[in-house]
């Protein structure tokens, strides 16, 4: 049984938050049984100026919200104008690398955690817009485009940095990679 079947009220809450935050909102269940929400997300200033509108798909892991597993956020628009990979923090499958899961500060056990995830996504997309402009400029002047603000290395190195900065991690704690597994059964030997 998937989480959305076991916790129908939570799934309704996720949909309500998404419907309030995403234009042209839709929700559904993939063929794999994973739940998703999708829609247009506006990156706006504190005064309401729309900087960018993107189409997002948020896919929930099968065991959500167990062991603080986070949903994955995918960019469905801008694929013809934004670059993925490298320092863009957009994976090859267009998943946004928003944070090292153990560092997000979001408690996905909370029924309103989608609000927090969307707030992080908003900040990420604001920075992404700046970075993508820097990529264009880098082609003209040859200077390497730099991510605006702090970021982690990619992959295992980023997880190592997070563990180091946290002062370590317990063997029975959730793995900072976001798998939902205990650290000792996941990345203990590789970090």
Provide the residue-wise pLDDT of the chain in tens; the chain has 191 residues.
Answer: 899 999 999 999 999 999 999 999 999 999 999 999 999 999 999 999 999 999 999 999 998 998 778 999 999 999 999 999 889 999 999 999 999 877 888 999 999 999 999 999 999 999 999 999 999 999 999 999 999 998 888 888 888 888 888 888 898 988 888 777 888 898 888 87
Question: What are the backbone dihedrals phi and psi of residue 41, each rounded to the nearest 5 degrees, phi first?
Answer: -120, 125
Q: Which residues pair with 87 in a beta bridge?
A: none
Upper half-sphere CA count for residue 157 (Cβ side, 13 Å): 4
DSSP of 41-107, one letter per residue? EEEE-TTS-EEEEEEEEEE--TTTTGGGPPPEEEE-S-TTTS--SGGG-B-TTSBB----GGGS---
- CA 87, CA 116: separation in Å to the nearest integer? 24
Q: Give pLDDT, residue 122.
A: 98
**Integer angstrom CA distances of residue 187 from 9, 27, 30, 170:** 33, 33, 29, 12
Cα angle for residues 42, 116, 57 (degrees, 5° grid): 50
- CA 5, CA 55: separation in Å to the nearest integer? 26
Q: For residues 23 and 43, is the Cβ–Cβ distance under 8 A?
A: no
Q: Give pLDDT, residue 179.
A: 78
**Integer angstrom CA distances of residue 119 from 44, 50, 124, 158:** 11, 15, 9, 22
Q: Which pTM was predicted?
A: 0.92
Closest CA to 156 of 184, 177, 128: 177
CATH 3.10.110 boundaries in the chain: 3-144
Which fold does the domain 3-144 belong to in CATH?
Ubiquitin Conjugating Enzyme (3.10.110)
């Amino acid at each position: 049984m998937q989480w959305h079947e076991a916790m129908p009220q939570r799934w309704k809450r996720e949909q309500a938050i998404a419907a309030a935050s995403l234009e042209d909102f839709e929700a559904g269940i993939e063929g794999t049984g994973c739940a998703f929400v999708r829609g247009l997300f506006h990156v706006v200033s504190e005064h309401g100026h729309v900087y960018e509108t993107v189409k997002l798909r948020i896919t929930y892991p099968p065991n959500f919200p167990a062991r603080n597993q986070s949903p994955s956020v995918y960019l469905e628009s801008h694929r013809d104008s934004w670059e993925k990979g490298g320092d863009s923090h957009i994976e090859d499958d267009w998943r946004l690398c928003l944070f090292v899961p153990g560092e997000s500060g979001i408690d996905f056990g909370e029924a309103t955690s989608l609000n927090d995830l969307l707030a992080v996504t908003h900040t990420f997309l604001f920075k992404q817009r700046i970075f993508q402009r820097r990529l264009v400029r880098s082609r003209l002047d040859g200077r390497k485009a730099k991510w605006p603000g702090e970021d982690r290395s990619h992959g295992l190195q980023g997880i190592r940095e997070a563990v180091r900065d946290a002062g370590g991690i317990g063997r029975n704690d959730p793995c900072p990679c976001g798998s939902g597994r205990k650290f000792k059964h996941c990345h203990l030997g590789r970090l």
